[in-house]
Amino acid sequence: MDAPHLPEQSAEKRVRIVGSELVENYTVYVIEVNAGDHRWTVKHRYSDFHELHEKLTVEKKIDKHLLPPKKIIGKNSKSLVEKRQKELEVYLQTLLSRFPASAPKVLSNFLLFNFYEINGIAAALAEELFHKGVQWLDAGEVFLLRPLQLYAVTQQLKLAKPTCANGDARADLGHILDFTCRLKYLKISGMKAAVGTSNIEEQSLPFDLSIFKSLLQIEISDCDAGQIKDLPFLKPTLASLSIHLSASSMKEILVPEASEFAQWEPEGVDTDCSVTAIIPTWKMLTTLDLSRNFIRCIDDSVKLIPEVEFLDLSYNQLSLVENLQHLYNLVHLDLSFNKLRVLEGVHTKLGNIKTLNLSGNQLETLSGLSKLYSLVNLDLSSNRLAQLDEIKYISTLPCLEKLSVSDNPMCIIPDYRTKVLAQFCDRASEVCLNGTTTTEKELDTVEVLKAIQKAKEAKDRMANNEKKVSDVPGQSSSSSLVPPPSSSSPSLSRSTCSSQEITIYKEKALITKDILTPVDSTFTQRCYDVYSSPCDVIPQVDTQISSSFSSEVTFESSLCCCEEEWKPWTASLSNLFLPPFLLSYTTTNQEFTNQLSVQINLSNKEESTQKPCKTLSLEETEQGSPQSGDGYFEMTLDDTNEIMGCFSSSTIQEKTTDVVQKDSVIGDVKLVVWSLCISVGEGLSQWPCCLVATDCSLVVFHTRSEEPVSNLEELTKALEIDLVVPYTNIKTFQFDIP
């Protein structure tokens, strides 16, 4: 309903009693009041009328006999109620005719003029500010006004009458104007439903903001943008503007006068085209919050807010990021819960952005974010990101510290946190993922994954080189050495890693992709959920042999995944747990890792010796190969001790060829893992085994000492190097703890 725009004197005030209600043992009369197009209802009993009349007779000298007299007997009878209803209606009409310009305060409050009629609303607000206005200004708090109150003040200023029509100085309109001129923080909150018992809809009431001269911050909600008048008058002082559930476009807020001109440009912009208006910019505005509106695009009105640093456009209907290149100072942008699908080339529009919220959109790729080099905080939660590879586009951003990817399809991937962090390489410890700081355990896993990635790249390069060599005539192709599973050999079918004890020659390299894999705590679940067959291939070791040909040796063994077959292996073992005293000797124990480094380097500096490695002649190869000339080698299993989870360097005694070992430095210790090794031979035995990852090699220490050690010196003496493998010689390495 459109609001009246005529002076209030022309808005006729009418009152009538439309009915009555019996409440408990007394009658309540329903009064309908009209002021122009506004209508509302009030309910009063006879005693309220009597109290009103007593005050009016004292203050305004009203005739005492104007109010119908009391009735003691039969006061609730139908005939009496109907008669009194008419008499009370005449009484109220007489009072309104007695005070046509401005009703006394007692009568105004009785008919709720202070809630629904502009004179009463303005008078009530003025009196409130008279008593508390200075106190509120000194406190610097946000002052709340309703659109109906601002409408009443706006209408009052249009009337040609004194600012204090009812003669009460406390209700003078000047108190409102003095307060609004000095107010700095304002909130205007409307409502979509009708106000109280009236037919007044606040969204249809226009109000003027030009009375505010010092506002620094204003928030408007649930008001139609068309009813907000003179908002540009706030440009000289306003620093923060928030408007919610009120606008369908940015233009109707930032440049409402644009509808009056065919072509406009912001002030200070040189243009060759003809314009009909030059619009002043919002020079002081640094924060603009237009969240929870109905905005479909970021239009060119952003040219008028060049100083904005914080822009909130969340919960709108945006599908594109555009025109933001005009905001040179923008550092915080919230585009959450819109309809964004792609973000191509956003770095050309968001050059200095530091905080970007893109949660709740429909993003499937992050390729458009790869050049936001100033970005510090990024929220990507509740999107459609399914592939972990998408993180690579933001993993190189040098300033990124906080990242959220929760509630995306990728989050169902096991250990997705460490896989996301690993893509940040050396900056993994600096990234806070999903609001949780990276733990030391995650960093250890990230270090392994980083090494795996580097080794994968190195392996790809090596594979390309080998392919080039194999294309040269006269060169032998890589050969595979595979020990076939044998049902008669329990040591083969029941070992969790390779049953071979081999000697690997030291050679500088990097860790390859699957050196270490997560260990499942539930063996039965791993048996049925992971492997497609009862036994799967676990370790594969590539060894470059310095000979007249290049060969690739692959060791494969089977993993028994049946709990029934596993039990005979563990039944005779007294303990399947590591001694507790070893738990303190980990990667974080610097003294221990230094001792390991010394032992490894001393061993590496010893004179190179030839190691036995079983090979076959060319004739034997041709007999064992499905195709002649493939370089196929076959190795049988040794019946001596087999170690679960590691290789030995001292038990293979077969035909050998001379292999020259490279004299390279092992490097610093990067990771220490303790495990339990089980030897299978004439009987079962077990001992602690220390797996050490250095810069370029995998080293296995073992100790067969059954006596517990009490200090680091005793432990160091008890440790003996059992295996040294350069990473380039390892294709995969995996061991499981049942």
For the segment 187-202, what is each residue's pLDDT rounded down to a tens digit?
999 988 899 999 999 8
Whole-number pLDDT of residue 680: 62
The 10s digit of each residue's pLDDT in 352-409 is 899 999 999 999 999 999 999 999 999 999 999 999 999 999 999 999 999 999 999 9
Buried b (16+ CB within 10 A) or exposed e, 698-724: bbbbbbeeeeebeeeeebbebbebbbb
Neighbours of 73 (CB within 10 A): 6
Whole-number pLDDT of residue 162: 65
Measured in whole angstroms, the distance separating CA 261 from the mean position of its chain's CA atoms is: 42
Inter-residue contact 692 to 596 (CB < 8 Å): yes
Kindly state the tokens that stand for 596.
């390991």
Whole-number pLDDT of residue 589: 82
Inter-residue contact 279 to 265 (CB < 8 Å): yes
Least confidently predicted of 421-430, 545-554, 681-690: 545-554
Torsion of CA 648, 649, 654, 655, to 10 degrees: 140
Segment 493-517 mean pLDDT: 35
Segment 490-514 mean pLDDT: 34
DSSP for 328-358?
TT--EEE--SS-----TTGGGT-TT--EEE-
Least confidently predicted of 155-159, 569-573, 718-722: 569-573
Q: How confident is the model at residue 701 (pLDDT cuts 50, 70, 90)?
A: confident
- Cα separation values, 590 from 225, 488, 668, Å: 67, 46, 11
Neighbours of 71 (CB within 10 A): 14
Which residues lie closer than 8 Å to 500 by C-beta, 6 or more apart? Answer: 483, 555, 557, 635, 637, 638, 642, 647, 652
Distance CA 420, CA 414 (A): 11
Least confidently predicted of 69-78, 420-429, 445-454, 691-700: 69-78
Neighbours of 436 (CB within 10 A): 11
Whole-number pLDDT of residue 82: 87
Closest CA to 697 of 504, 554, 450, 466: 504
Distance CA 504, CA 507 (A): 9
Count each helix (H run) and each strand (E run) in the chain, helices first: 16, 25
Rounded to 5 degrees, φ, ψ at 94 are: -65, -40
Q: Is 670 helix (H, G, I), strand (E, B) or coil?
A: strand
DSSP for 287-330?
EEE--SS------GGGGG-TT--EEE--SS------SGGG-TT-
Whole-number pLDDT of residue 99: 85
Greater confidence (662 vs 288) lies with 288
Whether residue 493 is predicted with pLDDT greater than 50 in this model: the reply is no
Distance CA 314, CA 408 (A): 19
Distance CA 172, CA 124 (A): 10
Whole-number pLDDT of residue 101: 74
**Per-chain mean pLDDT for the chain:** 75
Inter-residue contact 696 to 727 (CB < 8 Å): yes
Distance CA 500, CA 637 (A): 7
Whether residue 309 is predicted with pLDDT greater than 90 in this model: the reply is yes
SS (H, E, C) 9-26: HHCCEEEEEEEEEEECCE
Whole-number pLDDT of residue 176: 93
Segment 301-308 mean pLDDT: 94
The 10s digit of each residue's pLDDT in 159-178 is 766 666 666 788 888 899 99
Give Rg (Cα) of the chain: 43
Distance CA 151, CA 4 (A): 11
Percentage with pLDDT > 90 across the chain: 39
Whether residue 563 is predicted with pLDDT greater than 50 in this model: the reply is no
Which residues lie closer than 8 Å to 601 by C-beta, 6 or more apart? Answer: 665, 666
Inter-residue contact 493 to 732 (CB < 8 Å): no
Residue corresponding to tokens 């206005």: 133
Segment 632-654 mean pLDDT: 37
Give the length of the chain: 738
Inter-residue contact 204 to 173 (CB < 8 Å): no
Classify the C-alpha dihedral 501-505-508-509 as positive or negative. negative
Q: How confident is the model at residue 26 (pLDDT cuts 50, 70, 90)?
A: confident
Q: How confident is the model at residue 561 (pLDDT cuts 50, 70, 90)?
A: very low
Segment 64-81 mean pLDDT: 77
Whether residue 303 is predicted with pLDDT greater than 50 in this model: the reply is yes
Neighbours of 548 (CB within 10 A): 8
Distance CA 531, CA 533 (A): 5
Rounded to 5 degrees, φ, ψ at 616 are: -125, 155
Whole-number pLDDT of residue 604: 73
Distance CA 564, CA 489 (A): 17
Whole-number pLDDT of residue 541: 41
- Cα separation values, 501 from 512, 632, 633, 732, Å: 21, 20, 17, 16
The 10s digit of each residue's pLDDT in 234-281 is 999 999 999 999 999 999 999 988 777 778 888 877 776 777 788 899
Q: How confident is the model at residue 705 (pLDDT cuts 50, 70, 90)?
A: low
Q: Is 44 helix (H, G, I), strand (E, B) or coil?
A: strand
Whole-number pLDDT of residue 447: 87
Segment 697-721 mean pLDDT: 78
pTM score of the predicted model: 0.62
Q: Is 549 helix (H, G, I), strand (E, B) or coil?
A: coil
Bridge-based pairing state of the strands 207-208 and 277-279: unpaired
DSSP for 509-526?
----TBSS-PPPS-HHHH
Closest CA to 330 of 361, 352, 356, 362: 352
Distance CA 354, CA 309 (A): 10
Highest mean pLDDT among 383-392, 536-545, 585-594: 383-392
Whole-number pLDDT of residue 254: 93
Torsion of CA 515, 517, 523, 529, to 10 degrees: -120
Greater confidence (186 vs 725) lies with 186
Helical packing angle, 78-98 and 46-59, nearest 10°: 30
Segment 514-519 mean pLDDT: 37
Kindly state the tokens that stand for 353.
């952005």
Whether residue 513 is predicted with pLDDT greater than 70 in this model: the reply is no
Q: How confident is the model at residue 545 (pLDDT cuts 50, 70, 90)?
A: very low
Whole-number pLDDT of residue 498: 35
